[in-house]
Structure 1
């Protein structure tokens, strides 16, 4: 056989092996192609109301055929009125220990909803959890997934102008995609200044321990650590003008008599604490976008709250 003909046949054979065809002879859309539609993300992960509200290009929408093949064509059936035109957009793909998480945004006429879809390691759809929503009622629903793969869904309901009630639902996910409600925290009416503080009842004997506030809806809570060189903290803030929010908790270490620092083990997030005259100032020393909105930062000065007599 002519060497040139043999070479051309070899190239054609290799090219044929490199692509899959469907019944019509077109290149098949594989699961790898589907995954590439999503931005790769890592734990911890947080979807904020601000990012959920951002407009997505129509060209990035997932077609009904692709949605049905790799997820389910009933994804938004129970959350949107019958007959509503809904477009689905890929947001993020996150690898978990037993299951992988695909975050999908569904946009309707008056509401935008976020779903966490659970797929096994072979790419088979298992289940989904509605975990985010913004609508014209000003109620907000958003979520985060921590490094232990616990999903926290936060629900904020506006009671009156500037006053909100907050509920946090924590879910665990089984290997088969089934979700279990682990616990629920209710912050009550924020108008009464009752922000939910997970470390509120812990020991606070250190001279710098206590609650530092800024306005009605922002707090830095400092509690005693396991030793004299460490401290526990909880930060929750809400910017009045932008509505941007952030929340972070962990263990910091004192780097001086009136200075402290926190570094997240899972991300490059870091917070510097400066204590002085009954106040604490904070600033980011690393990217903490996983714990706050995109238009705000962990920064500012907070005043120590007097202890109740």
Structure 2
């Protein structure tokens, strides 16, 4: 039996389940594996554009609400739309992550289409969900999303402003318990100090080079202690050319000398060299890091260490 036929049979089985009967036609209870089989299996990186939400799907592939309620206990029905009786739900993608499982579901009513990412643990226990893409018939604003190979979720919201297009990008990370953390927000509008969320801010910083280094409000290098004396953790974010060129990178570096460090990305040719001094750090690219920045700017320059707040 090929996958398509198996999928259609599973849809038919689940469609026949009433709100009080969660069993297959053969009497076998509907399992999480049955539910997962309804979703086309994909791998990260995965991208869903807002325009693709308008593509019609056969009603035979629609998910039944009682099935959603069985496996996604925080039922989607009625939460984000007042026209719940017109809503239909379609499975778009299943992605197996390192700590979580990701289910992308399309919810359609008469005037709008929304895509949700629902999170379960590795055993199939429902944890949380978020709106990741949207296309409204009566609004020029639209939202798309990308799930990268590090399982960072980037939502991109676009809307026309005069003859231009305003773009806002929000970066999220879903933790193993399903909690969703906003990592950073980018916008091609005027930048506002304080928009940056430092994901390693609360980690230990006892090493002499650990701390936060800045070069303006939107340019930060955060250094934190590593697992041993030979390593350090870092987070870099910068915005140059009035916000037209931005970059962000985080990872684990290794000390290569008494005041030098180096980072090499495992998935690209990107590398960063760190030169520490008295209250300063300088960085330079030692490999192509275009995957983490704009094409007209680089991870480079000097940053001054911020004074640590006094302990009370």
Q: Please state if 1:153 is matched with 2:212.
A: no
**Based on CA coordinates, which of the two structures has the bigger radius of gyration?**
1
**TM-aligned CA distance change 1:195 to 1:71, over 3 Å:** same
**TM-aligned CA distance change 1:22 to 1:59, over 3 Å:** closer
Measured after TM superposition, the shift of residue 152 of structure 1 is 0.5
Measured after TM superposition, the shift of residue 75 of structure 1 is 1.0
**TM-aligned CA distance change 1:76 to 1:22, over 3 Å:** closer
Kept in 1: contact 2:143–2:157 (CA 8 A): yes
| Match 2:290 to one of 233, 236, 247 | 233
- Bigger mean CA deviation after superposition, 53-62 or 80-89: 80-89
In the alignment, structure 1 segments of 5+ residues that lack a partner are 1-20, 201-224, 237-246, 252-309
Note the alpha carbon deviations across 1:201-232, whole angstroms, 9 max, x for none.
Answer: xxxxxxxxxxxxxxxxxxxxxxxx835xx544
Measured after TM superposition, the shift of residue 83 of structure 1 is 4.5
Measured after TM superposition, the shift of residue 72 of structure 1 is 3.3
Kept in 2: contact 1:64–1:73 (CA 8 A): no
Q: Name the SS for the 1:188 alignment partner.
A: coil
Q: Name the SS for the 2:188 alignment partner.
A: strand
**Map of 2:246 onto structure 1:** 198
In the alignment, structure 2 segments of 5+ residues that lack a partner are 1-21, 191-240, 249-283, 299-312
**Map of 1:183 onto structure 2:** 184
Kept in 2: contact 1:197–1:234 (CA 8 A): no
**Map of 2:128 onto structure 1:** 127
Note the alpha carbon deviations across 1:100-155, whole angstroms, 9 max, x for none.
Answer: 10000000110000000000111111100111000121211111111111111111
**TM-aligned CA distance change 1:178 to 1:186, over 3 Å:** same
Measured in 2, the distance between the counterparts of 1:226 and 1:235 equals 12
**Map of 1:284 onto structure 2:** none
Q: Name the SS for the 1:59 alignment partner.
A: helix
* RMSD (Å), alpha carbons: 3.3
Q: TM-score, normalised by structure 2?
A: 0.54
Measured in 2, the distance between the counterparts of 1:151 and 1:37 equals 23
**Map of 1:171 onto structure 2:** 172
Kept in 2: contact 1:235–1:248 (CA 8 A): no
**TM-aligned CA distance change 1:60 to 1:73, over 3 Å:** farther
Q: 1:1-309, aligned counterparts within 5 Å?
A: 22=23, 26-72=27-73, 74-136=75-137, 137-160=139-162, 162-188=163-189, 196-199=244-247, 226-227=285-286, 231-233=288-290
Measured after TM superposition, the shift of residue 187 of structure 1 is 1.2
Q: Name the SS for the 1:98 alignment partner.
A: coil
**Map of 1:255 onto structure 2:** none
Note the alpha carbon deviations across 1:18-47, whole angstroms, 9 max, x for none.
Answer: xxx949962322211111110101111111
Measured after TM superposition, the shift of residue 79 of structure 1 is 1.7
